[in-house]
Chains A and B, each alone.
Chain A
């Protein structure tokens, strides 16, 4: 019956890992959405090795322990296989190493089973075992290294093989304490027999804390010790004093050890420094959030974004790729091992075995809770491993040895359990562990489902940039469907190309490092396919690939022919040119100089951000210039020859919308401070919008840049204007004012204004078609960051001649 249960469960475990391996093989095809990819095959070596090793271990367990617990081994085998595949998925080199470590662990497991009739030697040689463990741990103080080169030096190693003695030391401590406590029948709390191990454990923990700066292992030692004493004595005050000791350790660590301070701060307020101290925890939460309910599928998520995903953060990696479903299964498996371990402890024939099993359960349970809690911001981060799952030879070996102890103790044939004086410690331990794991499950659900939408749209979520390489982003085209920004390449290496670089400061860029700017940022939802596509398509793509569907093309009102002319006229001068359709508000030309080439952002990005000329700034919408006398034609239309008062001016400017952002799909700057009306500043777009009233009978249009979006179902769909046109001037007086600024021999009105702000001099040209113009009514603004009326006049004249003769 036992053997049948164990074999059947192992078959399920093998099926699970087999399916995972198939998914991992197919993952590249899903990511790149093509069958013509390099399939992943190397992990099958890991899967086959797992199958052979587990079969061997299973055979040995059945042979040597006929009455063992049938649940512990399959659950542990499934966990270690799951961990192994996840490590292969993350890093093939480490996958190979972990496979070798699994081989060693299984060999040690079988060897130990072979000699299990000498089990009582563990009890007899407790001091030898403990001092051996302490000795090799002490060696790390002298010869310790860290395989990564940085961080706590907890490893002993040579020739590329590293071993962390503090892992086996935990189990050796459990053996020693079990033997020590079992040898003493009635232990009183304040007595000499208890003083020796107390001093020993406290000293060990302090040493680890202060010398190795390893808070995780120190608190595991203290917790194991406390719970074992609690089980042996049944006194609750043991727990209270341990809580006091642990808090003291945390406080001491916090004030004396910088890495613990960093981790506690990162735990308490991770959002304040998401790129620095709390980078790990924020990335871990993002991974959990990206996993959602059913996960992205193994090989399809991006768990490598989390630092040390193979060991410390393997829980987050598993959460991202198997989702909440997988995580609940994982927690259930760990809980199964612990619950069966506690039953084993209760059924044990003598006190040594009972304490030993309880100690092993405590070790596995506390370590799992610490690292899972650290991954999901339930506890401060401590760099311990997840037993059976995480990468790490010493950790895997210790976990397998712990399993050997549990299985051997559970192998009792009809022996009467030893006497149990007080059931309370067991119910408290089981209840505490169950509560801990339930809290972990709920917290994971909180991040994966409730907080996920907020987390995933964070700008420091690199998954958006990664999705851009695999999903085609929509194009930006001009009013005649001439492409401006396009996406080139094939899935997996999509790259944004900017065909008209001079428009860079207006249209912006999208870049994995520098983020997004301009229209690429404000129209991102269309270009990324999150808006305009049917909701079902978006959800389906999210489910299959974890990415949005292909992006939609957006048509802009810009006219590249006119734009090229404006860019050429503006040349090296700093300033802006905007040509507006005065009736519809469509922006036909928007030039801002100096500009830059977004195709070279990789190499020039940092220099551009520091450039004193601010090429990244879109002067047309975000340049705040003093308006000076530039709006004189409008004042003439409103007030005639009268000199308006300050109040009247402010009222009128407010009507023209100079004190608010324009309703256009890009950010616009406006005056936010209260100033003298002479010193009022506005962006060129505000000025050209206001001036449009003169060319369109006193009606102010609502400016717009994005005019249509190409949806898969209905083709080009017109995007509605974001604002409403409104009448600000009497039509007749507007027409009269326009005519009074008529240029001799030209079909347009124009006015040159000047302004100064501090030492900066600004020259404005405001012009527009006449009221009786038969064609499209147009308004132009040119602003130059220099005192040069003749230049601005000549730019305006040549540009308008070019435009009106088109």
Chain B
């Protein structure tokens, strides 16, 4: 009799041990799910650039991708047809929650608010970039990251 009771308890013990491990697997699955939601819902805040170039009228351009290149090359996101601009002159990159300006080894350098940049530099609304004779005014949109954890929790009853 005692043997049967203890046998049942032994099986329950095994169940508890594997219950622990099962929950670990379940939580790991949830973590993967959460991480993928976070990444999928991460939005790049849009950036608007007021491009003043030569004698032409200023043009307003809006971007929502995380990488924008400037240069004389027509393949660039912002083509600047000017001899003082290098083929691939500079780029704007979004990472760590901010927009960064990087010089891509241009001949005449990239100037942010009247100072030459040598390393990636954070930019904000109202900054002005000079590449050769081209000038670009920056205006950033508001952050639009949707918090995935909130969304997940809202779904649950």
Residues of A within 8 A of B (CB): 1, 5, 8-9, 12-13, 15-16, 19-20, 22-23, 26-27, 29-30, 33-35, 70-71, 74-75, 78, 294-295, 297, 300, 322, 325-326, 329, 332-333, 336, 416, 543-545
Contact = CB atoms under 8 A, between A and B. Distances in A.
Contacts of B12: 19
B17 interface: yes
B43 interface: no
B23 A9 contact: yes
B24 A9 contact: yes
Contacts of A75: 24
A326 B17 contact: yes
A295 B10 CA distance: 9
Given A5-B27, A22-B9, A23-B13, A30 B18 contact: no
Nearest to B96: A416
Given A16-B16, A78-B20, A23 B27 contact: no
Given A15-B16, A20-B13, A26-B9, A8 B23 contact: yes
A33 B2 contact: yes
A15 B19 contact: yes
Contacts of B14: 294, 322, 325-326, 329
A763 B3 CA distance: 59
Contact of B10 (A33, A78, A297, A329): A297
Contacts of B7: 297, 543-544
> What 3 A-B pairs have minimum CB-CB distances, sorted nearest first?
A544-B3, A16-B16, A12-B20
A647 B5 CA distance: 70
Contacts of B3: 30, 33, 544-545
B64 interface: no
Interface in B27-76: 27, 34
A85 B88 CA distance: 68
B76 to A, nearest CB: 28
Contacts of B117: none
A168 B7 CA distance: 40
A482 B6 CA distance: 39
Given A74-B20, A325-B14, A23 B2 contact: no
B4 A13 contact: no
B21 interface: yes
Nearest to B1: A35
21 contacts: A9-B20, A9-B27, A12-B19, A16-B13, A16-B16, A16-B20, A19-B12, A20-B13, A22-B9, A23-B10, A23-B13, A29-B2, A30-B2, A34-B2, A294-B10, A300-B6, A322-B14, A329-B17, A329-B18, A336-B24, A544-B4
Contacts of A326: 14, 17
Contacts of B149: 1
A517 B97 CA distance: 84
Contacts of B96: 416
Contacts of B5: 26
A523 B121 CA distance: 91
Given A8-B23, A9-B23, A27 B13 contact: no
Interface string B132-151: 00000000000000000100
Given A15-B16, A329-B17, A26 B10 contact: no
Contact of B17 (A16, A22, A33, A336): A16
Contacts of A30: 2-3, 6
Contact of A19 (B2, B9, B21, B27): B9
A70 B26 CA distance: 13
A9 B11 CA distance: 19
B2 A26 contact: yes
Given A22-B9, A27-B6, A33-B3, 10 more contacts: A12-B20, A29-B2, A30-B3, A35-B2, A294-B10, A294-B11, A297-B7, A322-B13, A329-B14, A544-B4
B102 to A, nearest CB: 17
Contacts of B13: 16, 19-20, 23, 322
Contact of B6 (A1, A26, A78, A325): A26
Interface in B100-146: none
Contacts of A16: 13, 16-17, 19-20
Q: Of B6, B16, B18, B96, which is in contact with the most chain A CB atoms at under 10 Å from its CB?
A: B6
B2 A13 contact: no
Nearest to B28: A71
B21 A332 contact: yes
A15 B20 CA distance: 9
A330 to B, nearest CB: 9
B10 A13 contact: no
Contacts of B16: 12, 15-16, 19
Contacts of B10: 23, 294-295, 297
A506 B120 CA distance: 98
A322 B12 CA distance: 12
Nearest to B21: A332
Nearest to B13: A19
B6 A297 contact: yes
Contact of B9 (A23, A34, A329): A23
Contacts of A8: 23
A35 B2 CA distance: 8
Contacts of A35: 1-2
A186 B49 CA distance: 41
Among B17, B21, B27, B149, the one with the most A-chain Cβ atoms within 10 Å of its Cβ is B17
A34 B27 CA distance: 44
Nearest to A12: B20
Contacts of A545: 3
A70 B21 CA distance: 13
B24 A71 contact: yes
A329 B25 CA distance: 13
A120 B17 CA distance: 37
A419 to B, nearest CB: 13
A9 B13 CA distance: 15
Contacts of A5: 27
A436 B11 CA distance: 28
Nearest to B19: A12
Interface string B80-108: 00000000000000001000000000000
A1 B149 CA distance: 9
A245 to B, nearest CB: 37
Nearest to A545: B3
Nearest to A4: B27
A72 to B, nearest CB: 11
Contacts of B19: 12, 15-16
Nearest to A297: B10
Nearest to B18: A329
Contacts of B24: 9, 71, 75, 336
A240 to B, nearest CB: 35
A746 to B, nearest CB: 61
Nearest to A10: B20
Nearest to A15: B16
A78 B24 CA distance: 13
Nearest to A82: B17
A35 B6 CA distance: 13
B9 to A, nearest CB: 5
A416 B96 CA distance: 8
A142 B81 CA distance: 82
A78 B20 CA distance: 9
A535 to B, nearest CB: 18
Contacts of A295: 10
A295 B149 CA distance: 43
